[in-house]
Amino acid sequence: MIDVTNSVRLAQGFMAYKMSSKSSAGHGIHSPLIYSFAREVVHKKERDSYINEIEWYRDWQLQSPLIIKKSRHGAGSKLPYNEMPIGKLIRSSSVSPKHGGFLYRLAKWLNAKYILELGTSVGISTMYLSGAQPHAKIVSLEGDCQRALLAKHSFDYMQCDNIEVIEGDFDVTLPTGLDRLPTLDMVFFDGNHSAEPTLRYFKQCLGHIHNNTAFVFDDIRWSNEMYRAWQVIAQHSSVTVSIDLFSLGVVLFRKDIPKQHFVINF
Ligand SMILES: C[S@@+](CC[C@H](N)C(=O)[O-])C[C@H]1O[C@@H](n2cnc3c(N)ncnc32)[C@H](O)[C@@H]1O
């Protein structure tokens, strides 16, 4: 069933986003750092052989008859099923090729060595991160054991040997994940799309950042409460740069630049 209220809210949000966003070429952005981010991370269209391999693997998984149960964790899917073929799960909740490419380029741009992901699911986004930085250490947290198992099989098959998956609820596994990494260069928050836990995980991760860390939040417009959580994060005193990409939100902690908010056309 179509959720009309949510669709209207998203459409209004999209129009406001488009009207305030900077152009696709990065014109109108005066900060050299954000200009580089816009050109090298947001708008670059190149697709290399590693990305082709992930997308080949995704296409193969989309054909699979394997049935996946609904996860008990997080804010819950908007789909009304208790179980579904893996293809449907990937279509509804894994990063799209566009967003996967974004994560890939961001990890490279940051030269990230230590990456944390909240929400592995079946591992599509994690493979993008792994391929971008094969020598990085990636810790990915997942509460659903069936998804975690499938993700580990995928990582073996795709020879992504720099990923550690930690199973269990983020409330329990986040401290463990943080202990496994000496610092955080990049964090991808992609699970539990509710405001209170998102803000709590954000604050827990703040204790492990440095000047060049980036946090990425998925689905910042998934609900009103997620959007409010994003606004709180963007205004937090430790955040200097916040970048609204409509469904993704990125924050940086650079102390050498004044606090700024950007809306970039993605
Ligand atoms: C949107 S999916 C992640 C998609 C994945 N990052 C990708 O793009 O391929 C979110 C995942 O987070 C997990 N999750 C949500 N809340 C959680 C929690 N509190 N603890 C552990 N896992 C959680 C769900 O089981 C689900 O698999």
Identify whether the C-beta of residue 240 lies closer than 8 Å to the C-beta of residue 211: no
How far is the centre of ligand 1, averaged over its atoms, from the C-alpha of 149 (Å)?
13
pLDDT per residue over 17-42, tens digit each? Answer: 777 776 555 556 778 999 999 999 99
CA distance 119 to 94: 10
pLDDT per residue over 240-255, tens digit each? Answer: 999 999 999 999 999 9
Q: What is the pLDDT of residue 173?
A: 98
Q: What is the pLDDT of residue 1?
A: 44
Tokens representing 12 are 């209004």
Ligand 1, CB within 6 Å, residue ranges? 71, 73-74, 93-95, 119, 121, 124-125, 141-144, 147, 169-170, 190-192
Q: What is the pLDDT of residue 109?
A: 98
CA distance 173 to 59: 31
Q: What is the pLDDT of residue 2?
A: 45
Ligand 1, from 61, 73, 84, 89: best to mutate by most atoms within 8 Å of Cβ? 73
Mean pLDDT by 10-residue block, N- to C-terminus, for the chain (266 residues)?
Answer: 63 76 64 94 92 96 90 70 88 95 98 98 98 98 96 97 98 98 98 95 98 98 96 98 97 94 94
| Beta strands 67-69 and 83-85, pairing class | antiparallel
How far is the centre of ligand 1, averaged over its atoms, from the C-alpha of 227 (Å)?
18
Question: For 216-255, what is the HEC assignment?
Answer: EEECCCCCHHHHHHHHHHHHCCCCCEEEECCCEEEEECCC
Ligand 1, from 95, 99, 142: best to mutate by most atoms within 8 Å of Cβ? 142
Q: What is the pLDDT of residue 12?
A: 73
Q: What is the pLDDT of residue 25?
A: 53
Ligand 1 atom nearest residue 147's Cα: 27
Fold of 4-263: Rossmann fold (3.40.50)
Identify whether the C-beta of residue 232 lies closer than 8 Å to the C-beta of residue 213: no
Strands (DSSP E) found in 107-245: 114-118, 137-142, 163-167, 186-189, 214-218, 241-244
Domain locations in the chain as residue ranges = 4-263
Ligand 1, from 58, 71, 96: best to mutate by most atoms within 8 Å of Cβ? 71
How far is the centre of ligand 1, averaged over its atoms, from the C-alpha of 258 (Å)?
33
Ligand 1 atom nearest residue 168's Cα: 21
